[in-house]
Structure 1
């Protein structure tokens, strides 16, 4: 499940301790069989949209491997981790000497996660592998997600992947594998996960106490979440449903009414400590523009398709510039909305 900085989204369960995984039985069976065969690859690229269970799968597989260090005697299936075993307790507390979770570090000044996984974090992996495992067990690194590696960090990981230590396993998570260095992708075994089906998404939300028959998980939420638990949580617990409605109001209005709707939406998105819903809106905006480009292309409006596609690809760059120069977030949002509605 997606993380809010280094905290977990409200209503979610940390993947290290999550006892449930929905919708990926085939991937679990593949990993269990592949490991038991003794021919397991040293790096597995687990790819798919954000919030569908990639990290939960990675920790379940890590638990399986560390609990059964000899492949030939490992079970043929990945079972639910037993929270009472030493391996599970160590993984849950972050105290395992055989598992390293690489993710964006916290900025000590702001208390928030940095924008990238830095080379200093990757150096931790080098130190991790240089230490002799007291048990002779596997040593596993989960990179979560590798999309956040900056250039130096990516190159440092690549060097380790090129000459992996004995009994080392990398579980490389990616929301958008096309952004990774081709040389990193080429050294990994790809394992693609699909968005959750509506029934599986409903089961996942039910396990979090958001039962569909309880009234909160409407059909609209299941549709808008597009198979992602983290998107559903943002819709339900962070006001995402209201943000989508406000954006639709902007699109459907014109003149002064549209301008007022833009300002109302921008005020909400630019509020202090509203980073989760701001990120949700940017994702929603990108999806809207991608769909607009696709519809324009099918209609033969190539100029419209090109414009929507370019706007979608520019969002990240424009937000990055805004953050780098500490520009007013509200003005940045208004600029984006004005471009989208032209």
Structure 2
């Protein structure tokens, strides 16, 4: 799980969920039937509420340990209930949240969920619950599992303990081990509608820029996380600067390229740099798709190759900690060459 965005609530603390009523109903009815699957793969783009749904369902299960007596629909958690307070504080003996650990030396999140984190789940299940309640593990997201961690999780999924429930989150299910996917029940969530996205932002107290609300909602593409990056992390300015660069000739663009690269390589720029990398990758993929639909297969092929090259450049830069400003300039040059 990446660092919390400005204006966001940690999913464990968020009492509201927008746009996923059918998924909530499915989970509640499945649990109430007593025949629910032991592992649910909650799929969907980043920032649409997957983790909030997972914690909401965990609260429901732990509040109603007997499925037959559970309500037919999930309800907003009661912030005053002992179960909610234990979940929020991380003190629940019945819930384990697996996410990328913090490196004790640097104080920063590690790049992956490690095998030692997954082994915590094994120890968690080996302990006897004093209440006899369910044991729930939220993997957030499974995309961050390294190979050894993924294999360790698979072993637990293959022989799940009694009254165990796995809520496995993923932004890109196709990248997970097929064997992990095959042992989970998929539950796909869609991006939020404009109305639900606006309601979610309002509930967080996020004020959309005057005269630019429609632009934010459209650019966020149904993701609360993307909307927060646009509004609170300078994403709107990055969008406009990138569009302007594509429209300018080389001589006129050079100064602006350096200005943008300075912003993206500045201190504490991780969030906006990640936003930019997604922006350019999406831009190139969309351009390739449009070229193919227009019958310009040569351009479509060049753009497809460019997409792969950009991904490789970013991976190399991250692996070798290359100068971020030069990386940004190189990426923009490559995209401008294929305008």
TM range (shorter): over 0.9
* Per-residue Cα deviation, 1:31-55 (whole angstroms, up to 9, x for no partner): 0000000000000000000000000
* Per-residue Cα deviation, 1:225-250 (whole angstroms, up to 9, x for no partner): 00000000000000000000111111
TM-score, reference length from structure 2: 0.97
Structure 1, gaps ≥5 residues long: none
Q: Who is 1:278 aligned against? A: 273
- Structure 1 SS opposite 2:246: helix
Q: Who is 1:248 aligned against? A: 243
Distance of 1:217 and 1:13 partners within structure 2: 23
Calculate the aligned-residue CA RMSD, in Å.
1.3
* Change in 2 beyond 3 A, CA 1:60/1:314: farther
Q: Which moved more, 1:323-332 or 1:164-173?
A: 323-332
Alignment of 1:154-193 (within 5 A): 154-193=150-189
Q: 2:325 aligns with which of 319, 330, 336?
A: 330
* Per-residue Cα deviation, 1:33-83 (whole angstroms, up to 9, x for no partner): 000000000000000000000000000000000110111110000000011
Distance of 1:67 and 1:314 partners within structure 2: 50
Q: When the two structures are aligned, how many residues end up with a matched partner?
A: 337
Shift of 1:332: 0.9
Structure 2, gaps ≥5 residues long: none
TM-score, reference length from structure 1: 0.96
Distance of 2:132 and 2:307 partners within structure 1: 48
Shift of 1:260: 1.8
Q: 1:116 aligns with which of 92, 96, 112?
A: 112
Q: Who is 2:261 aligned against? A: 266
Q: Who is 1:93 aligned against? A: 89
* Per-residue Cα deviation, 1:76-106 (whole angstroms, up to 9, x for no partner): 0000001111110100001101100000011
* Per-residue Cα deviation, 1:100-132 (whole angstroms, up to 9, x for no partner): 000001112221111111111111111111111
Q: Which moved more, 1:248-257 or 1:184-193?
A: 248-257
Shift of 1:327: 1.1
* Per-residue Cα deviation, 1:246-301 (whole angstroms, up to 9, x for no partner): 11111111121122222111111011110000011111111111110110101112
Q: Which moved more, 1:317-326 or 1:199-208?
A: 317-326
Q: Who is 2:5 aligned against? A: 9
Alignment of 1:36-75 (within 5 A): 36-75=32-71
* Change in 2 beyond 3 A, CA 1:317/1:153: farther
